[in-house]
């Protein structure tokens, strides 16, 4: 399988699946890897995979993404998200592959009141955010023109577990719903994000930091409300709560709205509004459920 155009890590995850589909739709060759086929804690396996596949680009979506779980296993988070990314960057540089590393709004502390620019100071509040920041530093430290860090936020895609799926499941089961009102961010639809990432690669824009999210901002409560409305469940009572009341182990930024202007300028357009993306998600998620979903890489 030499000469693959794209190597996608975390290929079975929300974004990895969307990237595989987006590559397929554009006729781009891609190979996906995951925990079994290329464990990110294994430097030799990473190097061997890149030497075998010789991709033109690595799209690095693989990560420990359980934000609360990272608080109880910080070593695991730093090992995979930090060191694993460093090893991947080192291997990509060695084979001359470009790299797109997916990072997160959780590198910010949420104290801002306007959208975060790509060069805004970072101060992660959680182990997850700090481990992803370590990965960013490892990638940017190479100073390569074809190494990118792309921060995104509040990702949801067809199939699998995510926020809108959880809201719909709970609403349909008749359980009471209470959602956080005091965290504001940008929901991001995985297929829209995948398209934007492939556009970024095609643009040959110089390496650096990018912010990518669907257009528009809301609270988690606003996100849930938009999901219920789009699903025709707008009459269901949606209670409110604060982040403090939810008592989650990992602190989250209260404000993590990303300024996506740099990427929009390169693409000639922003990502679509998240309200539009939610409607498309409903259709795609139902189709994925009917098809059985699951990993097939
Ligand atoms: N989800 C969000 O809201 C969000 C927000 C901001 C940024 N991001 C970033 O965007 C990227 C993609 O997120 P996502 O939502 O698609 O994540 P996801 O659905 O949780 O998928 C993550 C993938 O990482 C792989 N992985 C985990 N541990 C690994 C290991 N030790 N070795 C190799 N692969 C491993 C898993 O592969 P297997 O399935 O094979 O185990 C999994 O498919 C991540 O880098 C994440 O940090 C996500």
**pLDDT tens for each residue of 221-259:** 999 999 999 999 999 999 999 999 999 999 999 999 999
**pLDDT of 256:** 95
Q: For the residues of 202-225, what is the DSSP string, one character each?
A: HHTPPSEEEE---B--EEHHHHHH
As a CATH number, domain 6-291 is 3.40.50.720
Alpha-carbon gap, residue 91 to 19, rounded angstroms: 21
Q: How confident is the model at residue 153 (pLDDT cuts 50, 70, 90)?
A: very high
Q: Is 149 in the pocket of ligand 1 (CB under 6 A)?
A: no
Nearest residue (CA) to ligand 1, atom 18: 13
Task: Report, as residue numbers or ranges, the catalytic residues.
Answer: 128
**pLDDT of 292:** 59
Alpha-carbon gap, residue 4 to 56, rounded angstroms: 7
Q: How confident is the model at residue 294 (pLDDT cuts 50, 70, 90)?
A: very low
Alpha-carbon gap, residue 85 to 27, rounded angstroms: 27
Q: Cβ distance 124 to 104 under 8 Å?
A: no
Alpha-carbon gap, residue 171 to 167, rounded angstroms: 6
- Residue 295, pLDDT above cutoff 70: no
pTM of the model: 0.96
- Residue 39, pLDDT above cutoff 50: yes
Q: Is 135 in the pocket of ligand 1 (CB under 6 A)?
A: no
Q: Cβ distance 133 to 184 under 8 Å?
A: no
Tell me whether residue 182 is exposed, middle or buried, using C-beta atoms within 10 angstroms of its C-beta: 0 to 12, 13 to 18, 19 or more.
middle
Q: Cβ distance 228 to 167 under 8 Å?
A: yes
Q: How far is the CA of 172 from the centre of ligand 1 (A)?
A: 28
> In the 8-state DSSP scheme, what is residue 148?
E
**pLDDT of 4:** 63
> In the 8-state DSSP scheme, what is residue 269?
S
The residue whose CB lies within 8 Å of the most ligand 1 atoms, and thus the one to mutate among 43, 44, 63, is 63
Ligand 1 atom with least separation from CA of 16: 16
Q: Cβ distance 190 to 65 under 8 Å?
A: no
Rounded to an integer, the average pLDDT of 69-94 is 98
Q: How far is the CA of 16 from the centre of ligand 1 (A)?
A: 8
**pLDDT of 289:** 76
Q: How far is the CA of 13 from the centre of ligand 1 (A)?
A: 6
């Amino acid at each position: 399988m030499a000469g693959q155009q794209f190597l996608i890590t975390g290929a079975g995850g929300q974004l990895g699946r969307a990237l595989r589909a987006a590559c397929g739709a554009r006729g781009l060759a891609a190979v996906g890897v995951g925990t079994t086929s290329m464990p990110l804690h294994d430097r030799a396996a990473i190097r061997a995979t890149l030497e075998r596949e010789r991709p033109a680009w690595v799209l690095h979506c693989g990560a420990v993404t359980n934000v609360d779980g990272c608080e109880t296993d910080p070593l695991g988070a730093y090992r995979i998200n930090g060191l694993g990314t460093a090893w991947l960057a080192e291997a990509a540089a060695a084979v001359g592959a470009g790299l797109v590393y997916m990072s997160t709004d959780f590198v910010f502390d949420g104290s801002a009141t306007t959208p975060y620019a790509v060069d805004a100071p970072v101060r992660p509040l959680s182990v997850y955010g700090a481990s992803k920041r370590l990965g960013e530093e490892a990638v940017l430290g190479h100073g390569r023109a074809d190494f990118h860090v792309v921060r995104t936020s509040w990702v949801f895609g067809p199939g699998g577990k995510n926020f809108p799926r959880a809201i719909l499941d709970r609403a349909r089961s008749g359980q009471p719903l209470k959602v956080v009102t005091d965290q504001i961010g940008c929901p991001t639809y995985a297929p829209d994000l995948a398209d934007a990432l492939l556009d970024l690669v095609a643009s040959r824009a110089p390496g650096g930091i990018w912010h990518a999210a669907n257009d528009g901002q809301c609270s988690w409560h606003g996100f849930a409300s938009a999901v219920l409305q789009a699903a025709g469940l707008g009459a269901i009572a949606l209670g409110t709560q604060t982040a403090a009341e939810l008592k989650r182990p990992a602190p989250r930024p209260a404000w993590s709205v990303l300024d996506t202007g740099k990427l929009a300028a390169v693409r000639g357009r922003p990502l679509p509004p998240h309200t539009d993306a939610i409607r498309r998600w409903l259709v795609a998620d139902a189709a994925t459920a009917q098809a059985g979903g699951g990993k097939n890489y």
